[in-house]
């Protein structure tokens, strides 16, 4: 069974640009969550998708948006990038919306300059 | 509003001794708690969890204790090994769906040979 894979691993963007981060869920997992981890902090919940529908959102502005595809892969899109968006973005998949079995990817390190 | 807090950014112990990592929470609705371990350049890896109906859960060298009245949990690692050196995150969730995890800031554990 494959784990959760994220791409790219590192990315540098300019303030005001848009970025798309990608996540391939673990086989058999139909739920994906995205987290932002700023330096020296714990991961913060951005949103979750279950069967292609948003199923909960954290305290992030609308310029953070997502998609989940029929194969359960997922994208995180961030528009109008700000310097404070610089962080590690983690994707986690699970076999259901339940609390068990969250598997995290290694993350995408986004730097906004 | 930091609902889950890990007040010790770092902890250093000798190999073979006990490591105790602490976590406090403020939201009384949390009913399930998890510990994750994170190595550099990797995503968080699930370690152990506990439901609010229990006060202790043990898995090999790892034991988690929950004190609901104090809104406090701790992770004990006995005996500590150099390979345990990592950042440890406490996380909490609520409700049957558990769609979001609320993380603490993390504690860097260093186990010295």
Whether residue A10 contacts residue A109, with contact meaning beta carbons closer than 8 Å, is answered with: yes
Indicate yes or no: CB of A106 within 8 angstroms of CB of B42: yes
Per-residue confidence (pLDDT) for residue A26, from 0 to 100: 83
Indicate yes or no: CB of B104 within 8 angstroms of CB of A104: no
A44 touches chain B (CB under 8 A): yes
Chain B residue nearest residue A50, CA to CA: B99
Closest-CA distance of chain A to residue B64, Å: 17
pLDDT in tens, B60-92: 999 999 999 999 999 999 999 999 999 999 999
pLDDT in tens, A58-104: 999 999 999 999 888 999 999 999 999 999 999 999 887 655 668 89
What is the pLDDT confidence band of residue A12, given thresholds at 50, 70 and 90?
A: very high
- How many other CB atoms are found less than 10 A from the CB of residue A3? 14
Mean pLDDT of A1-30: 92
Rounded-to-integer distance, Cα A33 and Cα A14, Å: 25
Residues of chain B scoring pLDDT < 70: 96-99
Closest-CA distance of chain B to residue A96, Å: 9
Identify all chain B residues contacting A53, using CB atoms and an 8 Å cutoff: none
A106 touches chain B (CB under 8 A): yes
Mean pLDDT of A96-113: 84
Rounded-to-integer distance, Cα A102 and Cα A95, Å: 8
Indicate yes or no: CB of B44 within 8 angstroms of CB of A43: yes
Per-residue confidence (pLDDT) for residue A51, from 0 to 100: 86
Per-residue confidence (pLDDT) for residue A109, from 0 to 100: 97
Shortest CB distance from A58 goes to which of B100, B104, B105? B100
Rounded-to-integer distance, Cα B9 and Cα B40, Å: 16
Per-residue confidence (pLDDT) for residue A11, from 0 to 100: 96
For residue B15 the two structure tokens come to 């190999």
Rounded-to-integer distance, Cα B73 and Cα B88, Å: 13
Whether residue A13 contacts residue A112, with contact meaning beta carbons closer than 8 Å, is answered with: yes
Per-residue confidence (pLDDT) for residue B96, from 0 to 100: 58
Per-residue confidence (pLDDT) for residue A98, from 0 to 100: 59
Per-residue confidence (pLDDT) for residue B17, from 0 to 100: 98
Examine the pLDDT at A9 and tell me if it is beyond 90.
Answer: yes
Shortest CB distance from A97 goes to which of B44, B97, B104? B97
Residue A11 or residue B2, greater confidence: A11
């Amino acid at each position: 069974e494959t784990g959760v894979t994220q791409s790219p691993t590192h990315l540098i963007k300019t303030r005001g640009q848009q970025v798309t981060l990608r996540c391939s869920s673990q086989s058999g997992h139909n739920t994906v969550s995205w987290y932002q981890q700023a330096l020296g902090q714990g991961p913060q919940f951005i949103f979750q998708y279950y069967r292609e529908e948003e199923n909960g959102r954290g305290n992030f502005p609308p310029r953070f948006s997502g998609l989940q595809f029929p194969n359960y892969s997922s994208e995180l899109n961030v528009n109008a990038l700000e310097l404070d968006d610089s962080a590690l973005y983690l994707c986690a998949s699970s076999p259901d919306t339940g609390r068990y079995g969250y598997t995290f990817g290694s993350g995408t390190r986004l730097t906004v300059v | 509003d930091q609902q889950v807090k890990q007040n010790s950014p770092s902890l250093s112990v000798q190999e073979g001794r006990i490591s105790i990592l602490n976590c406090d929470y403020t939201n009384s609705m949390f009913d399930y708690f998890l510990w994750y371990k994170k190595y550099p350049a990797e995503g968080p890896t699930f370690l152990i969890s506990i439901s609010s109906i229990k006060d202790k859960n043990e898995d090999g060298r790892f034991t988690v204790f929950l004190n609901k009245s104090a809104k406090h949990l701790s992770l004990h690692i006995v005996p500590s090994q150099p390979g345990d050196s990592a950042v440890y995150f406490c996380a909490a969730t609520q409700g049957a769906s558990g769609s979001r995890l609320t993380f603490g800031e993390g504690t860097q554990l260093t186990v010295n040979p």
